[in-house]
Amino acid sequence: MTKEKKPKGFWSKLPKPFFALAPMSDVTDVAFRNIIAKNGKPDVFWTEFVSCDGICSSGEEILLRDLEYSKEEKPIVAQIFSSNPDNVYKTVKIIKKLGFDGVDINMGCPDRSIEKQGAGASLMKNPKLAVEIIQAAQEASGDLPVSVKTRIGYDRDEIDEWIPTLLETGLDALTVHARTKKEMSSVPANWNHITRVVKLALNTKTIIIGNGDVKSLEDGYKKAKETGAEGIMVGRAIFGNPWFFNPNISLEDIPIETRLNTLIEHTKIFDKKLGDIKNFAVMKKHFASYVVGFDGAKELRMKLMGTNKVEEVEEVITTFLKKIKGI
DSSP 291-324: S-SSTTHHHHHHHHHT--SHHHHHHHHHHHHHHH
Query: Which letter, b or e, does each residue of 78-103 get, where b requires 16 or more Cβ atoms within 10 Å of its Cβ?
Result: bbbbbbbbebbbbbbbbbbeeebbbb
Q: Kindly report the length of the chain.
A: 327
3-class SS shares of the chain: helix, strand, coil, % to 5: 50, 15, 40
Q: Which residues pair with 81 in a beta bridge?
A: 51
Cβ pair 103, 145 in contact under 8 A: yes
Q: Active-site residues: which are they? A: 109
CB 287 within 8 A of CB 301: yes
Cα dihedral 104, 110, 116, 118 sign: positive
Residue 205 and residue 192 in contact, taking contact as beta carbons nearer than 8 Å: no
